[in-house]
Structures are given as structure tokens and as C-alpha cells.
């Protein structure tokens, strides 16, 4: 619950002196009479009136507390939040040639690339992402989608040998990704191309593909994967078994850099798993989605219910005092000899706070003024 004027709640501290005064006044006692013996009084049963003697004050104190809460203007807040995002369309182009099985990454290049790409996809909530696999040729593994579950499944299915892996067609891989972004209406379009070699296959050169990307306002980030120097590459021995042979790592960094700079992107070199993860994290920071959050708050006044409850308690206190405690309770007294004398002798112990009609009139007027004041403020 929200209060528009919470400073009024400090008035609740007045309940402490009110209760203290009431207790003090009760302890002072009332009228007293002298009798020769209290033996009959001591054995007299206590009436209902005795147990309810403090109820009128409790009701008035509760009414005061409710009025203070009403003055603080309790409100119910209805919150409506509208989120609109301007997502980015991203195509991940991953090299799946045979050289991606090299063991200079743990456990190999293509597995490391898939793990890092999977983490990248998980962090891009609201963006449309697609997958392109390329080696000697290129194909679309997944079109642009926001379904991350399906995307992760298709990413896991990428492997070396899925297509002709007798070469690396970097230009074709980029051109296939561009073709998927060509019809996109997104304001920001990005291709992240990962490869570990040199373009030696395909009909489209990497520079030509980059020029097409530039014309389509598509940024290209290129990542060269491979350690410095020698790396264990897979090979087939004379018996047809797969073995690993140390070979020099060759990455056409000059071409990859030119492709990225031409389109407004950047070239990165990953020499191990940690650097590859850091590269994707940096790209994730560079390509931020624009998210707008609009919050609308509606306030509904609740003070009237508290005022009505307070008036109800005051009315109940007056009815209890005048009708029940002073009149009807006489019917509830035990019909035993000496009843009047017993009741009279209990007068010092039964203290009932008497209020005149002026008390009630002033209290009701005060509550009505408070209600009208709050109604005026809300209007």
C-alpha cells in the first residue's frame, strides 16, 4: 500500500498518551460507598457488563487510528510497463572445413567455436540470429529467428564433413549470410564470420562479398581462429586411419581485416579458447540492442473505505455505551437476592467512559471534514 501523505501517520503516536490517560483515569476509580461487609460482594458473579467495560474506548481508539490512516491517503498503485526493443539481425557464418578439426583448441577448433557461439546466442535475447556453415561451399543452417532453443539445436548439428570440406570458400560463406540479411527490415544488420584459413574455393571472392555487404549497410566482423606457428591438423595415414600432423597455421589476416574495415566492422584473432570467448563478448558489447521501457502508474484512492470504517466503529461504540451497557445489560444480570446492592457495590470497579452527545457530534463532524478534505485533494 502506498501513502500520498505518509507524514500524517506520525499522529498514530498520539494513541500512546490516549491509552495511558485512560488507564490512569480507570485506576482512579469512581464513586464509592461504605458498607459493613464485602462478603456478599466478593462472592457475587461478574456480569457481562464488567467484561465489556473497556470495549467502547477500544473502539474509539481504533476509529482514531483508522482516521489517521485515511488522512495519509492510502492508494493502490496500478503499474503498466511496456517494453519495446529494436533488435539486431545477426548471421553467424562458421567455417566447417576439415582444418577446423585441428587440436590447437580444446577439444578442437570447431567444437570450441560452437560452444562460444552458443553462449553468444544465449546473451542476445530479442535479436534475430541465423546460421551459415561453409567449407568448399556454403549453405544456410538456420534462417533468422528468435527461437533460441531451435537455434541452439541447429548449432549443435554443425560439424566438419557436413558438406564438401575439401577447401574454404570464405566469399561464398559471407555472400550466403548477406543474402539472408538482404530482405531484413532491421536498422542494424551484422555478420560474424569465423574461419581458420585462406579462401581457396568458391565463385565469389571475399572482397567482392564485402563490397556487397557494404552496399547493404551490413557490418562484418571477421575472426581468424588458430594458434601462432604450428598446430596439429587431422590427416589420413596409409592405412586409412585419422592421425594428427603438425602443420603451419595459415590465416589470410590481410583479407579478413580488409573485409571488416570496409564494412565498418573489426577483425579479431583468436589463438585459444579464452581469447575466442573474449572476442564474442566484445562483439556482444559493441552490438547493443536498443530497448525502450515505458512505465505508466495509475493511483486509486482508498481513503474513503478507512473513513467509513472509522465512522462505523464510532457508531458501534455509542450504541454499545448507550443501549447495551446502560440498558439491556440489566436484563443479563443474575436474578439473585441483593442484585441491586451488588451492582451498586461494583460501581468503583466498573468504570465506563461517559460521553455526551457533544462528543459524538464533534467526532462525526471531524471525520466528515477529513473525508471532504481528502475528496477535495483528489479532485
Q: Is residue 19 part of a domain?
A: no
Q: What is the distance between the alpha carbons of residues 263 and 308, in angstroms, rounded to a whole number?
A: 70
Q: Is residue 67 part of a domain?
A: no
Q: Is residue 202 part of a domain?
A: yes
Q: How far is CA 148 from CA 14, 89, 153, 171, 289, in A?
A: 60, 13, 9, 27, 16
Q: Is residue 235 part of a domain?
A: yes
- Mean pLDDT for the chain? 81
| pTM listed for this prediction | 0.58
Q: Is residue 140 part of a domain?
A: yes
Lowest-confidence region among 196-205, 233-242, 320-329: 320-329
Domain range for 145 is: 89-290
Mean pLDDT score, 301-309: 84
- DSSP-derived secondary structure for 291-345: EEEEEEEEEEE-HHHHHHHHHHHHHHHHHIIIIIITTGGGGGS---TTHHHHHHH
Mean pLDDT score, 226-247: 86
| pLDDT above 70: residue 35 | no
Domain count, the chain: 1
Mean pLDDT score, 32-43: 63
CATH number of 195's domain: 3.40.50.410
pLDDT reported for residue 227: 92
Alpha-helical runs (H) found in 128-252:
148-156, 170-181, 206-215
Burial label, 54 (beta-carbon count in 10 A; 0-12, 13-18, 19+)? middle
* Top-confidence residue, 283 or 47: 283
Q: What is the tens place of the pLDDT at every residue in 139-153?
A: 999 999 989 999 999
Which of 77-81, 227-231, 357-361 tops mean pLDDT? Answer: 227-231
**Contact (CB, 8 A) for 136 and 165:** yes
What lies within 8 Å, CB to CB, of 332 at 6+ separation is 47, 48, 49
Amino acid at each position: 500500500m502506498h501513502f500520498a501523505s505518509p507524514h500524517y501517520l506520525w499522529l498514530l503516536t498520539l494513541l500512546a498518551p490516549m491509552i495511558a490517560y485512560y488507564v490512569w483515569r480507570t485506576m482512579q476509580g469512581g464513586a464509592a460507598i461504605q458498607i459493613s461487609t464485602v462478603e456478599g460482594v466478593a462472592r457475587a458473579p461478574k456480569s457481562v457488563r464488567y467484561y465489556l467495560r473497556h470495549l467502547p474506548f477500544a473502539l474509539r481508539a481504533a476509529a482514531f487510528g483508522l482516521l489517521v490512516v485515511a488522512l495519509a491517503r492510502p492508494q493502490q498503485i496500478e503499474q503498466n510497463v511496456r517494453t519495446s526493443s529494436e533488435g539486431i539481425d545477426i548471421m553467424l557464418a562458421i567455417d566447417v572445413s576439415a582444418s577446423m578439426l585441428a587440436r590447437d583448441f580444446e577439444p578442437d577448433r570447431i567444437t570450441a567455436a560452437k560452444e562460444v557461439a552458443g553462449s553468444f546466442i544465449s546473451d542476445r535475447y530479442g535479436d534475430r540470429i541465423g546460421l551459415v556453415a561453409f567449407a568448399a561451399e556454403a549453405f544456410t543452417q538456420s534462417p533468422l529467428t528468435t527461437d533460441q532453443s531451435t537455434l541452439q539445436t541447429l548449432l549443435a548439428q554443425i560439424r566438419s564433413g557436413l558438406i564438401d570440406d575439401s577447401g574454404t570458400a570464405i566469399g561464398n560463406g559471407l555472400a550466403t549470410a548477406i543474402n539472408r540479411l538482404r530482405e531484413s527490415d532491421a536498422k542494424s544488420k551484422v555478420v560474424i564470420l569465423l574461419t581458420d584459413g585462406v579462401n581457396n574455393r568458391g565463385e565469389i571472392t571475399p572482397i567482392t562479398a564485402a563490397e556487397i555487404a557494404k552496399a547493404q549497410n551490413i557490418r562484418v566482423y571477421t575472426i581468424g581462429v588458430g594458434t601462432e606457428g604450428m598446430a596439429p591438423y587431422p590427416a589420413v595415414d596409409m592405412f586409412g586411419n585419422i592421425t594428427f600432423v603438425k602443420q603451419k597455421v595459415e590465416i589470410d589476416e590481410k583479407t579478413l581485416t580488409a573485409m571488416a574495415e570496409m564494412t565498418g566492422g573489426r577483425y579479431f584473432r583468436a589463438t585459444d579458447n579464452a581469447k575466442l570467448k573474449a572476442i564474442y563478448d566484445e562483439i556482444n558489447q559493441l552490438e547493443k540492442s536498443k530497448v525502450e521501457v515505458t512505465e505508466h502508474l495509475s493511483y486509486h484512492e482508498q481513503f474513503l473505505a478507512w473513513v467509513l470504517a472509522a465512522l462505523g466503529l464510532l457508531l458501534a461504540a455509542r450504541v454499545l455505551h448507550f443501549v447495551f451497557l446502560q440498558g439491556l445489560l440489566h436484563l443479563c444480570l443474575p436474578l439473585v437476592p441483593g442484585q441491586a446492592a451488588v451492582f451498586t457495590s461494583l460501581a468503583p470497579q466498573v468504570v465506563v467512559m461517559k460521553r455526551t452527545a457533544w462528543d459524538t457530534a464533534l467526532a462525526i463532524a471531524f471525520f466528515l471534514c477529513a473525508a471532504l478534505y481528502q475528496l477535495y485533494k483528489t479532485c
